[in-house]
Amino acid sequence: MEELVKIIEEMGIPFAYDHFAEGESPDPPFICYLLPDSDNFAADGKAYYRISGVRIELYTDYKEPSIEQKVTAVLDEHGIFYAQNEVWIEEEKLYESAFEFELPV
């Protein structure tokens, strides 16, 4: 997933896989990314073409369209089709904007 890390680096926002270590989380905005599932293509009883689900979670203190634009611009530049959703996390006092897509492995 080196390609994915390079794509996320282009966004210019601090990031970590899944979560930051306790006490090491930067101030928002920051990104956590996950590879929560796969949608492999099977042929002859084997995984013929491997596809990984990707979830990029952007965390901000408040709704920041300009920061979301950084993420979407990079995804668009790489021709990545994504679905986006947003949620307010009350206990963390953070917005989470999630971008979900698939990439070949």
Please report, for the chain, how many H helices and E strands are present, in that order: 2, 7
- Kindly report, residue by residue over 74-97, the tens digit of the pLDDT: 999 999 999 999 999 999 999 999
Q: If one looks up domain 2-104 in CATH, what number appears?
A: 3.30.2000.30
Whole-model pTM: value is 0.89
What residues contact residue 51 under an 8 Å CB cut-off, 6+ apart?
A: 38, 39, 40, 41, 102, 103, 104, 105
- Which residues pair with residue 102 across a beta bridge? 53
40: confidence class by pLDDT, cuts 50, 70, 90: low
Q: Is the pLDDT at 47 greater than 90, yes or no? A: no
Mean pLDDT over 23-30 rounds to: 93
**Do residues 14 and 8 touch, judged by C-beta distance below 8 A?**
no
- In the chain, where the domains are located: 2-104
